Amino acid sequence: MINRRDLLKWSAVAPVLLGGSAASFRKLPEGVDALVLDTRHVRRGLAGPMVHAFDGDVTQLWFETLDPLWRRPGFVLGGITGADALFVLKRLAWDRGRRVVSRSQLPARHGSGTGPLSWVIAPVHPSVKV
């Protein structure tokens, strides 16, 4: 489970990710096993071994990556997405014993409406923890 200290680290990383710095991907926040980025809100071209990008539709990411990972115990996922993608991931996570344990609104890029959300989805039941 993510503790308060790790969540504060995550909150510090999120604004850097929105700025698109490749250096920010050298180390994920402690306690986060992978990062999901919605390229509608974060620049393209950012990559890392446990960074998964998608363009609004999480279907392929779910079937190919997240579902197999969430079938194993203890996998914690962080992300920066729109509210629509988080809604879908939140529903899928429920079936795998995970919940959104952190969620915060980020500023919109160039003042364009509502900004993305940074969030963490983690196991919430002892049977799915490491």
Q: What is the DSSP letter of 121?
A: E
Residues 6+ apart with CB under 8 A from 3: 31
Do residues 28 and 44 lie in contact, with contact meaning Cβ atoms separated by under 8 Å? Answer: no
Q: What is the DSSP letter of 5?
A: H
Q: Is the pLDDT of residue 2 over 90?
A: no
CA distance 30 to 33: 8
Confidence of residue 1 (pLDDT cuts 50, 70, 90): very low
Q: pLDDT tens digit string along 25-63? A: 445 566 788 899 998 887 755 556 688 889 889 999 999
Q: How far, CA to CA in Å, does 31 sit from each of 50, 57, 87, 112, 130?
A: 13, 26, 22, 32, 12
pLDDT surpasses 90 at 100: yes
Neighbours of 81 (CB within 10 A): 24
